Amino acid sequence: MAGEKSDREQKVERIRELVELLRKASRAYYMEDREIMSNFDYDKLYDELESLEKETGFVMSQSPTRRVGYEVVSELPKEKHPAPMLSLDKTKEVDQLISWLGDQKGLLSWKMDGLTIVLTYRDGKLEKAVTRGNGEVGEVITANARAFRNLPGEISCKDELVIRGEAVISYADFDEINARIPEEGDRYRNPRNLCSGSVRQLDSRITAERNVSFYAFSMVEPENKALLASFENSMENEFRFLSEQGFQVVEWMPVTAETLRSAVRTFADRLPDNPFPSDGLVLDLDDLAYGKSLGITAKFPRDAIAFKWKDEEAETVLRDVEWSASRTGRINPVAVFDPVWLEGTEVKRASLHNLTYIEEMKLGIGDRIKVYKANMIIPQLSENMTRSGGLPVPGTCPVCGEKTVIRTDGAAAVLYCGNPDCAAKNIKRFTHFVSRNAMNIEGLSEATLEKFINLGYLKELPDLFHLERFRDEIVGQDGFGEQSFRNLKDAVERAREADPAAFLYGLGIPNVGLSNARMILRHFSGNLEEVLSAKEEELCKIAGVGDVIARTFVSFLQDERNMAEIRRLMQELTFPEQEETGEQDLAGMTFVITGSLSTYPNRDALVAEIVSRGGKAAGSVSKNTSFLINNDVNSTSGKNKKARELGVPIISEEDFRDGGFLSDRKETT
């Protein structure tokens, strides 16, 4: 008979709801490399589910509290693990960690947020690498593991070693890779997603380009009893052994119940500066035999426990929402609230993500909200206690004033600027123009440029030379002051005396790099006016330019708006006469540069010298290459191999500076 549900029925229904929500989140996270909820929200729902299961005794077979991951979806070969790879039990309470450790010695280490990998070494060489997968079956990624930037190719120990660890990508590499992706919607949400996709590539070259690192965190008990005995029953000695073999081991600290609390604090204090993502800590028992004797549960081993950061929350009041346009035209909402202190820093702003999020949170100005720092770093809203709703959505772009449009991005409604010429969409042009090898205007980072564009200080490139009109506003900005503005003004004034090649390069003409710009200018004897009126046929006569560069160069300059902006820029600049710097002793030679440099500040500086001496710089080795410059002359890299195949001499940076290769070349010609 239908009627009001009992308390137990309501709880069972809630369990079913939670299981479905968490399964969807896990499937998105593990199989599709995307997130549909934050770690904070997932942990909150997981804890609620676990509590309800204990209270009711009702557990669904598909419950995430009883299952470990999901079946992987990939074209990579799959392999079953000899023993299941279980998740760790977890807590957010330091007191529970202390109680768990008791009178034992423990090892506290980072819980790195990447992709777990199992490596097998035999006879000192990597034989196999398998992902964790669903805990029972993983993907074989041996070729990709060999492309990890810090993994030993050979080790001195010839015994079979099975090592577990985490593949991770640093925040710096994550930011650099994302910066190369123009569309915001195509960018990776976090380093873990990027790492997961990188490790599971079918082409190991892509893995190598992503700078994946591996950090060992445990070792399966070796069959060699003498080797096992050498660890003296200590996991810390096991870690030291792995370090001695050349592996990077996850950073750890030995702890006891008395020192554990301060050790957790030490890790927490270092979290904001940690170069790799971490979602908590791991506490292992140092006593290997004792840990093994404890056995396992259906889901967890008993010799280790995870500590998840307990997100510190604070209540505050939503005062405003700022809408800022991005380079893709997406207009992002940011909450501005009364300042609160979280994890030792003042917080007064947090992203609101999209229109769907705002609607679901029922946000309104003046609402009482709760905020926290995800993984103790990124400010987020966790709850809106007032839920008044009705937050107005802007009908015009805050940068250009044109009409906004609402589009669907996945399952979310997102606000966009409909103007294709909006300055916010051209942030890369500004960033390129002020870069070191172009106009070299210090103090204008991409973030600063984006802020100035959103505030209306910059609409086109010539505006860079008139920022003094907004002096008072800039001085009042966070991170700026009188001295910062003076430094910026001085940098702008220095840039007014411009190198013509750097200016041409800074315009962002497709396919025209700094070396191309120098060659084109040399052909026209440094006359910038002749360059700007050059015909396609004339440009094609320049060695190293070619049809494609000539066509895009002329097409760019024939665009009336481009030329009008160039003329306005030239009114702001002076171009000192360029003197020839030495003989053209590299005329007719083509150089390819690879590897790191030690005496030149960067590769562009070496290219500039080559071009100034009449030579050319190319990106790949061919039969037309005169010399390959690589400080690791004996490297087995692809470019070195190609050079040897074609008989192209390989010289070091020192060889180039000494000039001995020139006399060698004369003797052979």
What are the residues facing 332 on neighbouring strands?
324
If 0-12 CB within 10 Å is exposed, 13-18 middle and 19+ buried, where does residue 489 land? Answer: middle
Q: Is 438 helix (H, G, I), strand (E, B) or coil?
A: coil
What are the residues facing 168 on neighbouring strands?
213
Query: 49: closest CA among 28, 65, 29, 67?
Result: 65
Strand bridging mode 304-308 / 90-91: parallel
- Tell how many helices (H) and how many strands (E) occur in the chain: 26, 22
Q: Where are the alpha helices (DSSP H) in 210-301?
A: 225-230, 235-244, 260-270, 288-293
Enter the DSSP assignment of 4: P
Longest dimension (CA), the chain: 103
List active site positions. Answer: 111
If 0-12 CB within 10 Å is exposed, 13-18 middle and 19+ buried, where does residue 168 land? Answer: buried
What are the residues facing 384 on neighbouring strands?
369
Question: Could you give phi then psi for residue 213, rounded to 5 degrees?
Answer: -115, 155
If 0-12 CB within 10 Å is exposed, 13-18 middle and 19+ buried, where does residue 54 land? Answer: exposed
The rounded distance, in Å, linking the Cα atoms of 660 and 482 is: 52
Q: Which residues, 6+ apart, have CB-to-CB distance to 419 below 8 Å?
A: 329, 397, 400, 402
Number of neighbours of residue 407 by Cβ within 10 angstroms: 14
Residues 433, 536 contacting (CB under 8 angstroms): no
The rounded distance, in Å, linking the Cα atoms of 591 and 603 is: 12
Query: 100: closest CA among 255, 267, 297, 257?
Result: 257
The rounded distance, in Å, linking the Cα atoms of 616 and 516 is: 9
The rounded distance, in Å, linking the Cα atoms of 381 and 358 is: 11
Q: Which residues, 6+ apart, have CB-to-CB distance to 82 below 8 Å?
A: none
- Strands in 411-488 per DSSP E: 412-417
